[in-house]
């Protein structure tokens, strides 16, 4: 199974080398694509330097900061234009433990989308303030009730995709970007009847760098959940 890992970046110069070295220690046969939104802190330059050591490290630089969802769509198109069998998406700030990737890929033998879940067995989050934890857990409960998706962690960004799932989705028609991008992509896979699996992870909040979460991202997620509910009722966007 040829695997590509996609990690979008914006101002991750303090974390990116750690991520790259961790991943290639786990398996030097992995391919890693960094989709950088023209980070002014030199993240792209660090990746270019690391490419001299790691031939399976790839870099795509976009012209401007345009949202997490757009960065992943760029990466998905890049992957589908090449011969990858599985595509992993993960954060660059080490909040997603790279050691979970082999287990998540193994689940793809019997499933089509594997979601690294913080809430499948209670709550597995470290270093979050209680307010953010309650907000995240409540948002996932709200999403599950409103859309009907049987997923306890619909907003998580650590996933392993079978190629066929991404190839079947009209990626250019994906509407959302932030938190809601994760919900929408899960919904599009689920509504098509693909087999989804939640794999328990421990999410450790970043200790270096700044979170990209914002109020507008949360509001976008609230609206997208009801949009998806309407799609489901009327059978749209299958």
Q: Which residues of the chain have pLDDT under 50?
A: 209
Report the alpha-carbon distance of residue 218 to residue 136 in Å, rounded: 10
pLDDT of amino acid 216? 59
Q: Which one, of 30, 51, 46, 39, lies nearest residue 11 by Cα?
A: 39
Q: How many domains does the chain have?
A: 1
DSSP 12: -
User: Angle 39-71-195 (CA atoms, 0-180°, nearest 5)?
Assistant: 145
Report the alpha-carbon distance of residue 161 to residue 164 in Å, rounded: 8
Look up the CATH number of the domain holding residue 156: 3.90.550.10
pLDDT of amino acid 237? 55
Pairing, β 159-162 against β 113-117: antiparallel
Question: How far apart, in Å, are the Cα atoms of 215 and each of 8, 72, 186, 221?
Answer: 20, 21, 22, 10
Report the alpha-carbon distance of residue 216 to residue 223 in Å, rounded: 11
- DSSP 3-state assignment of 113? strand
pLDDT of amino acid 218? 59
- pTM, to two decimals: 0.90
State the Cα torsion 59-63-64-67 to the nearest 10°.
-60
Structural domain for 217, as ranges: 3-234
Tell me what percent of the chain is helix, strand and coil, each rounded to the nearest 5. 45, 15, 40
pLDDT of amino acid 211? 53
Q: Which residues pair with 5 in a beta bridge?
A: 32, 88
């Amino acid at each position: 199974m040829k695997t590509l890992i996609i990690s979008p970046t914006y101002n991750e110069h303090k974390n990116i080398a750690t991520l790259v070295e961790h991943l290639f220690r786990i398996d030097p046969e992995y391919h890693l694509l960094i989709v950088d939104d023209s980070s002014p802190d030199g993240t792209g330059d660090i990746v270019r330097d690391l490419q001299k050591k790691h031939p399976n490290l790839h870099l795509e630089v976009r012209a401007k900061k345009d949202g997490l969802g757009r960065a992943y769509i760029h990466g998905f198109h890049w992957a589908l234009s090449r011969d990858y069998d599985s595509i992993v998406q993960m954060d660059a700030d080490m909040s997603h433990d790279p050691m979970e990737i082999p287990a998540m890929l193994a689940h793809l033998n019997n499933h089509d989308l594997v979601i690294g879940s913080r809430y499948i067995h209670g709550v597995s989050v470290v270093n979050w303030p209680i307010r953010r934890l309650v907000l995240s857990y409540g948002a996932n409960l709200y999403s599950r009730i409103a859309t009907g998706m049987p997923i306890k962690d619909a907003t998580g960004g650590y996933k392993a995709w079978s190629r066929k799932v991404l190839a079947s989705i009209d990626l250019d028609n994906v509407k959302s970007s932030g938190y809601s991008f994760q919900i929408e992509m899960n919904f599009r896979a689920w509504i098509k009847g693909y087999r989804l699996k939640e794999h328990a992870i421990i999410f450790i909040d970043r200790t270096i760098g700044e979170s990209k979460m914002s109020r507008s991202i949360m509001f976008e997620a609230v609206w997208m959940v009801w949009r998806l509910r309407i799609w489901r009722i009327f059978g749209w966007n299958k």
